[in-house]
Amino acid sequence: MKKLSNIKKYVVLHFCILLYTFVTVLSKFAARFSFLSDKYILCVGGVFGILGLYALFWQQIIKQFKTSVAYSNKSVTTIWVVFLSNIFFGESITFHNIIGAVIIILGVIMVTYNE
Indicate whether 24 pLDDT > 60.
Answer: yes
Measured distance CA(10)–CA(112) in Å, rounded: 10
pLDDT band, residue 99 (cuts 50/70/90):
very high
Model confidence band, residue 44 (pLDDT cutoffs 50, 70, 90): very high
- Residue 82 counted as domain residue: yes
Q: Is the pLDDT of residue 53 over 80?
A: yes
Per-residue model confidence (pLDDT) at position 94: 93
**pLDDT, position 113:** 77
Domain count across the chain: 1
Q: Report whether pLDDT(115) > 70.
A: no
- Is it the case that residue 2 has pLDDT exceeding 60? no
pLDDT at 3: 59
> What phi-psi label fits residue 37: left (phi over 0), alpha (psi between -120 and 50 degrees) or beta?
beta
Nearest to 107, CA basis, from 65, 76, 62, 78:
76
Does some domain include residue 1? no
The percentage of the chain sitting over the pLDDT mark of 90, rounded to a whole number, equals 47
Give me the sign of the Cα torsion angle 28, 32, 87, 101.
Answer: negative
Residue 46 in domain:
yes
Q: What is the Cα–Cα distance from 47 to 20, expressed in whole angstroms?
A: 9
Domain that holds residue 59: 6-112
Burial of 61 (0-12, 13-18, 19+ CB in 10 A): buried
